[in-house]
């Protein structure tokens, strides 16, 4: 086969490859729906947003059975999931990936929820105490 024809075929294949990569690359890029998280909030079970650094009383029963935390990311279609939870007292209070807080003893604790891009919210959990400073059993 003629060398000129071979060179033209190779050049044509390279041009076609570059064109196809460009088209496919654009198609893949246009389907990306990543949205950065702007804010993280702790919420109540019914979805009411708690104020920043809210303080929530936890009953002894909830401390024994586990206290479920709820959160909301803004916007809701953010790609910054899953979130991570951290506790100010990891040796006493643990938080699962789903936000279930387990206490080894009755203590105040600060829990932080963080999105992948570093947005955070905190909540303080305190044992429900009566006026004498002892923990209520309800």
CA–CA distance from 15 to each of 12, 20, 21 (Å)?
A: 5, 9, 10
State pLDDT tens for residues 4-30. Answer: 887 888 787 877 777 767 766 654 454
Sketch the domain layout of the chain as residue ranges. 1-32, 39-127
State pLDDT tens for residues 38-57. Answer: 999 999 999 999 987 799 99
Q: What is the dihedral of CA 121, 122, 128, 130, to 10 degrees?
A: -120
State pLDDT tens for residues 120-129. Answer: 999 999 998 7
Partners of 116 in the β-ladder: none
What is the per-residue pLDDT for 7?
Answer: 81
Question: What is the fold, at CATH topology level, of the domain defined by 39-127?
Answer: Immunoglobulin-like (2.60.40)
> Residues for the chain: how many in total?
138
Q: Cα(83)–Cα(99) distance, rounded to whole angstroms?
A: 9
The structure's pTM equals: 0.69
């Amino acid at each position: 086969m003629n060398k000129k024809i071979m060179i033209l075929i190779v050049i044509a294949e390279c041009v076609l490859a570059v064109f196809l990569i460009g088209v496919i690359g654009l198609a893949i890029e246009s389907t990306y729906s990543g949205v950065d998280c702007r804010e993280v909030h702790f919420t109540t079970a019914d979805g009411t947003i708690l104020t920043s650094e809210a303080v929530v009383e936890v009953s002894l029963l909830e401390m024994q059975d586990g206290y479920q935390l709820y959160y909301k990311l803004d916007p809701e279609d953010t790609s910054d999931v899953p979130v991570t939870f951290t506790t100010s007292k990891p040796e006493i209070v643990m938080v699962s990936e789903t936000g279930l807080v387990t206490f080894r003893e009755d203590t105040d604790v600060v829990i932080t929820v963080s999105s992948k891009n570093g947005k955070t919210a905190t909540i303080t959990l305190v044992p429900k105490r009566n006026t004498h400073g002892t923990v209520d059993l309800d």
